[in-house]
Amino acid sequence: AQSVTQLDSQVPVFEEAPVELRCNYSSSVSVYLFWYVQYPNQGLQLLLKYLSGSTLVKGINGFEAEFNKSQTSFHLRKPSVHISDTAEYFCAVSDAGGGFKTIFGAGTRLFVKA
Amino acid sequence: KAGVTQTPRYLIKTRGQQVTLSCSPISGHRSVSWYQQTPGQGLQFLFEYFSETQRNKGNFPGRFSGRQFSNSRSEMNVSTLELGDSALYLCASSLTSSDSRYGYTFGSGTRLTVV
């Protein structure tokens, strides 16, 4: 069975500090990987995605993520966070062969402090 | 272009009642998926519709149903509401059903409170 594990439920960090949000997945088939962000009282917004090729992918708002096949991880990073990055972040996985539907992790709440 | 529109944004219903939520996807998108989001369970997949046909269904009771119209707009219905149905219901629009590489575009959700 496929699964997504976000290793931290909450990550507090000071403004302008770097941050890493961790995501591990489990799947027996090739997958696409996604990170979404959800601001309060809003839906989810796609930050970035990995389909194939270069393992380092860049997204919106200065975020990037690295796909590590051997460790089945897809960690999200930002070198310097802003107050406005305070939100919940979701890692998601889908079957590249069109099989199982997109599965979301439980979410990581990023709290940026001044 | 317009985003995914969900109506209403907020709803308060009484146990035992039924409710219908609406979602209009991005123009040209033919797949609509519904998710239930709660603090305890996170995002759980309800069902997906493509070209007016239900393509996939999550593990929810039969009280949860949906449909899609020829213009790709979708509705979901919950009958005999229970307190545990209180949640944010999110609609996700995508270009196709079988190719997930494009990801989803989400609406802002409908916040349902059952009292």
Average pLDDT over residues B82-95: 95
Cα–Cα dist B63/B18, whole Å: 9
Cα–Cα dist A14/B79, whole Å: 46
Here the tokens at position A21 are: 């949000």
Cα–Cα dist A82/B52, whole Å: 43
Contacts of A32 in chain B (CB under 8 A): 100-101
What are the two backbone dihedrals, phi and then psi, of residue B102, each rounded to the nearest 5 degrees? -80, -15
Q: Which neighbouring-strand residues pair with B47?
A: B34, B57
**Average pLDDT per block of 10 residues along chain A, 114 residues long:** 92 98 93 94 93 93 95 97 97 84 93 96
Interface subset of A 75-114, CB within 8 angstroms of B: 90, 94-96, 98, 101-107
Cα–Cα dist A4/A37, whole Å: 16
Q: Do B103 and A105 touch (CB under 8 A)?
A: no
Residue B98 has pLDDT above 80, yes or no: no
Considering only CA atoms, give the Rg of chain A.
14
- The residue of chain A nearest to residue B42, with distances taken between CA atoms, is A106
DSSP 8-class letter at A21: E
Cα–Cα dist B65/B62, whole Å: 7
CA dihedral angle for residue A11, residue A14, residue A19, residue A23, rounded to 10 degrees: 10
Sheet with strand B19-24: strands edge to edge: B5-7, B19-24, B74-78, B64-68
Contacts of B24 in chain A (CB under 8 A): none
pLDDT at A97: 81
Q: Do A49 and B101 touch (CB under 8 A)?
A: yes
Q: Do A43 and B108 touch (CB under 8 A)?
A: yes
Interface subset of A 36-65, CB within 8 angstroms of B: 36, 41-46, 49, 51
Confidence of residue B1 (pLDDT cuts 50, 70, 90): low
Residue B108 has pLDDT above 90, yes or no: yes
pLDDT at B11: 96
Rounded to a whole number of angstroms, the distance from the CA of B15 to the nearest CA of chain A is 24
Cα–Cα dist B77/B110, whole Å: 12
Rounded to a whole number of angstroms, the distance from the CA of B64 to the nearest CA of chain A is 18
Average pLDDT over residues B28-43: 92
pLDDT at A93: 94
